[in-house]
Amino acid sequence: MIVAKRKPFEEIKNLLKGYRKVLNVGCGTCVAVCLVGGEKEVAVLNAELDMARKLEENPVEMGAITVERQCDMEYLEILDSMVDEYEALLSMACGAGIQFLAERYPAKPVLPAVDTTFLGVNQTVGWYEERCRSCSSCVLGLTGGICPVTMCAKGLYNGPCGGTNKGSCEIDKNQPCAWYQIYERLKAQNRLDCILEITPPSEWQNQIPRTVIQPGYKKQEKK
């Protein structure tokens, strides 16, 4: 899932400075699961903003709605009849959702309430870790299911480097060396031949905005 964290309150408050009526739009998918931008978090943030602005004797009227997914126009439709009432929209979705919201309502200021952080996993409730950089050329088949692009601090394709430190990365004793782990896992699977060959330089594909059109579909007129 996409993991985000809420921006510092002062920063959000600053973004809303000058607006008196703002609609806070949550997202019911990834950011709801990682406890940052779902219905509950929208309510909490609105309450905080409401209180802070009252104390400043500069009240703000915060509206609240959480859509199924902000990255899907179908679910944004519901907002069409609401946005006119507001001066600005605050989004608690990931960066993709925020941009889609801004794309649908180009005349409205759309402001982010979260910092989108990574594509990761849920270790346990409230604890998330990065696992994928969406590089567009997956090598997990060669590396024992451990991503060197994400999990190696240098993103090395032919590791480990000389800084590997008794199973840890040189940057931090608590950060495992990805290449040490790759070696151990492939060894246990008797597949070390996977990393005996040199992996050639990556043909980076994440340098421009990417588009995916699945087989059987084609680019259609945007709604």
Partner 1 sequence: MKSGSNLEKILTAGHFAFTGELGPPRGTDADEVRKKASYLKGMVDAVNITDNQTAVVRMASWAASIIVIQEGLEPNYQMVCRDRNRLAMQSDILGAYALGIRNMLCLSGDHQKFGDHPQAKGVFDIDSMQLIGMVKKMRDEGKFLGGTEIGHPPKIFIGAAANPFADPFEWRVHRLAKKIKAGVDFIQTQCIYNMEKFRTWVKQANDMGLTEKVYLLAGVTPMKSVGMAKYMKNNVPGMDVPDELIKRLQGVDKKMQADEGIKIACEQIEEFRQLKGVAGVHLMAIEWEHKVPEIAERAKMLPRPVV
| Residue from 73, 28, 23, 70 nearest 45 by CA | 23
Residue 125, CA distances (Å) to 25, 122, 128 in order = 23, 7, 8
As given in the structure block, the two tokens for residue 197 are 């060959």
158, 189, 205, 206: which one contacts partner 1 (CB under 8 A)? 158
Q: Is 174 in the site for partner 1 (CB under 8 A)?
A: no
Binders of partner 1 among residues 86 to 115 (CB under 8 A) are none
Q: Which residue has the tokens 């088949």?
A: 141
Q: Give least dist CB 170 to partner 1, A.
A: 4
Q: Give least dist CB 147 to partner 1, A.
A: 14
Q: Is 118 in the site for partner 1 (CB under 8 A)?
A: no
DSSP state of 43: H
Q: Is 200 in the site for partner 1 (CB under 8 A)?
A: yes
Q: Cβ(99)–Cβ(72) under 8 Å?
A: no
34: phi then psi, degrees, rounded to nearest 5? -90, 20
106, 126, 162, 216: which one contacts partner 1 (CB under 8 A)? 162
Closer to partner 1 by Cβ: residue 122 or 168: 168
Q: Give least dist CB 182 to partner 1, A.
A: 10
Strand partners, 121: 129
1, 139, 184, 194: which one contacts partner 1 (CB under 8 A)? 184
> What is the C-alpha to C-alpha distance for residues 214 and 110, in angstroms, rounded to an integer?
30
Closer to partner 1 by Cβ: residue 122 or 165: 165
Q: Cβ(195)–Cβ(183) under 8 Å?
A: yes
Closer to partner 1 by Cβ: residue 55 or 196: 196
As given in the structure block, the two tokens for residue 124 are 């346990």
Q: Give least dist CB 156 to partner 1, A.
A: 4
Which residues in this chain contact partner 1 in the complex, by CB under 8 A? 153-167, 170-171, 177, 180, 183-184, 187, 192, 196, 198-202, 204
